[in-house]
Structures are given as structure tokens and as C-alpha cells.
Structure 1
Amino acid sequence: MTVPLSRPAIPVLEAGMPAPDFTLQATPDQNITLSELRGAPVVIAFYPADWSPVCGDELGLFNAALAELRRLGAQLIAISVDSAWSHTAYATQRKLHFPLLSDFEPKGEVARSYGVYRAKEGVCERALFVLDGNGIVRWAYVSPITVNPGVDGILGALEQMNNSTQQDTP
């Protein structure tokens, strides 16, 4: 008998909703607060775990797309429930050039606030959020946990945001 995997207890944030603020460890001695990133789009990538094959492929793809994300004015942060020490070792080994934030203690608190914590497994969903410069969710996607969602959806959402901003400018 197959036991279904757990889903988040609260609904996943959707476009138009404000993103909950948070402060998480980026390194053992450095924190990042989401509200301090306001003024530019932010891409938040929740992922299940450091050192897993799909996560490695996904984060590697995001790393390869950093120049394009920055061209579109966006900052990228990734979040899992692994410790800041694990993130530091993982980012160094994988040569990642964006912050990996630790939702370690209380475990999964930020992921829960976004509706993407899998309590039964104790990990985050594989979820993507694109926020505008005011911290409003403009695009959200939860991928099956075993599937790398790629960057096309993120890039499309950022391009659409940039196009609508240009159209709003007189």
C-alpha cells in the first residue's frame, strides 16, 4: 500500500498575496531579512534538502541563470530546513553564488507561513515564488517534489512584471 505524501496544512501563497517577512541565517554568522530586499523583485526557491540529486540539479540550473535573473533586476534566495553549516558546505562544494537560507529552527517555520512545509517528511516542498519590489507574490508554483521545475516560469514572470512596469511608465 502506498501512503500519500503529506501536503501543507495551510494553502500555498498565491499571486496578489503579500509574502510573509522573515529573517533567516544565510551563514552561521549572517542573517538575511526579506523586507530588507524590497525595492527589487525577489525570487524565493524553497527546496527539500541539500545534497539531494534533484535539488543539486535545480540549484545548479538557478546558478547558471543568475546573470539572466540579475538582468531582469531580480535577487534569488533559496530556502530549505538544512542548517546554515550544511548550506555553507553545500554552496561551497557546488559553487553556488546566491544565498541558501536556513529554515532550521523552529524547523520549517517560514515554509509553513508560505504553505510549503511537508510536516510528515520534515522538508520544504519544491516551490517557487516571484515577489515584486513591494513584497507581493506575482507568481507561485509548487512542483512535484521529484521534479526540477526549471527556470522558465521564473523568467516569464519576471519578464511580465518588467513589461507591465514599462507600460505603466508615462
Structure 2
Amino acid sequence: MTSPSVPAVGAAAPDFRTRNQHGQDVALTDLRGAPAVLIFYPWAFSGICTGELCAVRDDLARFSGVGARVLAVSCDPMFSLRAFDEAEGLGFDLLSDHWPHGAIASAYGVFDDVVGVARRGSFVLDAEGVITWAISQGIGEPRDIADHLAALAA
């Protein structure tokens, strides 16, 4: 399965429905009415991913201060995401893109079909679900969470 290209800024965010780490359904339509930040990452419990998501956790008040909902998406199964959240006390939704494997990451153009995981992609969505900022990086390239906050403020 080859991922399409990353959706352009100004495009509608690709629709999805999946479960979070607690087994609750989450859909793109649930995000309407407020900005949202989708953060794709390869693996729960890996070094770079843990560092990035803990940085989000540590700045979560700044995200919620502008009314943004943060959702992190990986191909890990729901129970692994629950254990990851409990271990790190993240405090935001971790969405499982486990089955169909990588479908959400593929729709956003960040699925690595050789390794079988999401690359590091981030998308800021406005209240109507339009992409206002996007970044896509390789698996081993950490993102600066401050860039996400700057994009929300813009």
C-alpha cells in the first residue's frame, strides 16, 4: 500500500473514524467547532515518540489555552496505547490506526509502507476541519512541538 501525498494546506482533512486508548470512538467530525492537532508517530514507547508526546503533555495547557484538541495517531493496537498513556500520563487521545492497518496515516500521506508504520506527520486543523499547517518528516527525525503551537497561534 503506497500512501498518497500529504494533503495540501487549505484542503479538507481526510475523514476517519477509529478508537482511542480507552476504546471510545473518535471521528474527524467529532473535532468540528474547535481547532485540532493531529500528530502521527511510529511507535508507542520508542525514544523519539515518547520524547515528542511528553513534550506535548508538558505544554498541553498551551494547546488547550487556544481551544485546540490534541490527538496522536499510531498503528499500535488500542491496548498498547492505553499502557503507553498510563505509563507517561499523557492526558490526550491516542488513536489506534491498527486496523485496517495504517488507513488513517495513508489518507494523510504519512504511512511508510516499507516499515509498516506512520512517519512523523503533524496537521493543524481549523474549526471546520481544514488543514492550516502540515509537516511530514522521516521516522528518525524528531519534530519541535513549539512549531505546532506557533502554527496554532498564526
Q: Indicate whether 1:62 and 2:53 are aligned.
A: no
The percent identity for this pair of structures is 37
Q: Indicate whether 1:23 and 2:23 are aligned.
A: no
Tell me the matched-pair count: 154
Tell me which of 78, 82, 97 is aligned to 2:91. Answer: 97
- Aligned position for 1:53: 47
Q: Indicate whether 1:108 and 2:102 are aligned.
A: yes
- Aligned position for 1:85: 79
TM-score, scaled relative to structure 1: 0.87
Secondary structure of 1:45 counterpart:
strand
Secondary structure of 1:51 counterpart:
coil
Matches within 5 A, 1:117-156: 117-156=111-150
TM-score, scaled relative to structure 2: 0.96
The amino acid across from 2:122 in the alignment is L
Q: Which segments of 5 or more consecutive residues in structure 2 lack a partner in the other structure?
A: none
- Per-residue deviation, residues 74-101 of structure 1 (Å, max 9, x unmatched): 1000000000000000100011100100
1:26/1:9 Cα in 2 relative to 1: closer, same or farther (>3 Å)? closer
CA distance in 2, matches of 1:142, 1:22: 19
Matches within 5 A, 1:38-49: 38-49=32-43
- Aligned position for 1:72: 66
Bigger Cα Rg: 1
Q: Which segments of 5 or more consecutive residues in structure 1 lack a partner in the other structure?
A: 1-7, 161-170
CA distance in 1, matches of 2:8, 2:94: 23
